[in-house]
Amino acid sequence: MKPTLPIASRTSSALVLPADSIASNTAQYLESGLQGAPNTQRAYRADLADFEAFLVSRGEVLAPATAATLADYLSAMADRGLKWATLRRRLSALVKWHELQGLDNPTLNPLVQHVLTGIKRQIRTRQRQAPAFEIGEFKRALDAIPHDRLAGWRDRALLLMGLAGAFRRSELVALNLEDLRFERDALLVDVVRSKTDQTGEGDWKALYYSPYLEYCPVRTVQHWIEQLGRTTGALFVSLRKGERLTGNRLSDKGVARITKRWLGEDYSAHSLRASFVTIAKRNGQDDLAVMRQTKHKSTEMIHRYTRIQDVTVHNAAKELGL
């Protein structure tokens, strides 16, 4: 029997693409090609499940979605107070499903487009950016982390790597000891797979030595690795009670908890990456140098990260003499 290609829902037989017309190996490659980052896959499954529940409530089926039904769904989401970014992602999930079924894309219908325009005009469409911290604030947070506990060294290494390497939390938790190469001038980190590199081509990041031991990402990571007592496997792991190491890879939610614990509830794990951009730009680094570490494909996100900080730092209103 040839496989079926699961698209979104693990529970719905309707959201599956029959693969009877293609060879099994072709189906496997197709499925791999359709998969995005794990977080994206989970979000798409939830998005299609939500749309399916909407259809069930109306006695309709997803085969295919009509423009009128989709317009009603968008209106219902807007009335529920969903953010614009969430609404757009749910549309992307529906586009993907229709594409896989060989069906016309209903989101291109003029009715749907006009409803989208109306929704966009009536709700806030600006995405909330992860807040960035000042480098002094970051150092004070590091000073508060105890040096006599395993969790303290793990958390310090995680935060320093996150900031100095402009890592996403998914990249941090995916790191293995084998991905690290300690050179005389820097620690090189092989990022095997990331949000913008789903084919696994890989890329390198560099973390540099600091003259201040307590703020040095390289020496801190080295010390944490010594505590692990091994040369392979996950770099960041969870701990049991009593400061006992486990072999369980730290989760992305764990990164979020650690960030909030030491930096405060106002900050998220993504604040490490956002702060790298804002601090580097404030220190005079150009976009290309920043992008070499963040691996952004364009300058758009760099400018988005720095827009709020720029309005308070580089602003002629400060020089009015009032």
Strongest mean pLDDT among 76-85, 93-102, 185-194, 224-233:
224-233
Q: Residue 201: pLDDT band by 50, 70, 90 thresholds?
A: low
Confidence (pTM): 0.66
- Residues making up the chain, counted from first to last: 322
* Arithmetic mean of pLDDT over the chain: 83
CB 153: neighbour CB atoms within 10 A?
21
Partner residues linked to 239 by β-bridges: 245
Q: Is the pLDDT of residue 88 over 80?
A: yes
Q: Is the pLDDT of residue 4 over 70?
A: no
DSSP structure class, residue 63: S
Which carries the bigger pLDDT value, residue 187 or residue 281? 187
For residue range 10-28, list pLDDT tens digits in order. Answer: 334 334 444 455 566 666 6
Closest by Cα among 255, 256, 267 to 134:
267
User: Domains of the chain, with CATH numbers?
Assistant: 5-122 (1.10.150.130), 135-312 (1.10.443.10)
Q: Is the pLDDT of residue 1 over 70?
A: no
Residue 185 has which token pair? 């001038």
**Burial of residue 115 (number of CB atoms within 10 Å: 0-12, 13-18, 19+):** buried
Q: What is the pLDDT of residue 54?
A: 92
Rounded distance between C-alpha atoms, residue 309 and residue 245, angstroms: 40
Q: Residue 251: pLDDT band by 50, 70, 90 thresholds?
A: very high
Tell me which H or E stretch contains 247: strand 244-249
Closest by Cα among 85, 63, 87 to 73:
87
Write the single-letter amino acid at 209. Y
Q: Is the pLDDT of residue 87 over 80?
A: yes
Contact between 175 and 234 under an 8 Å Cβ cutoff? The reply is yes
The pairing of beta strand 186-191 with beta strand 180-182: antiparallel
Q: Residue 138: pLDDT band by 50, 70, 90 thresholds?
A: very high
CB proximity list for 110: less than 8 A, separation 6 or greater? none
Q: Is the pLDDT of residue 8 over 90?
A: no
Q: What is the pLDDT of residue 125?
A: 54
Q: What is the pLDDT of residue 16?
A: 45
Average pLDDT over residues 255-263: 97
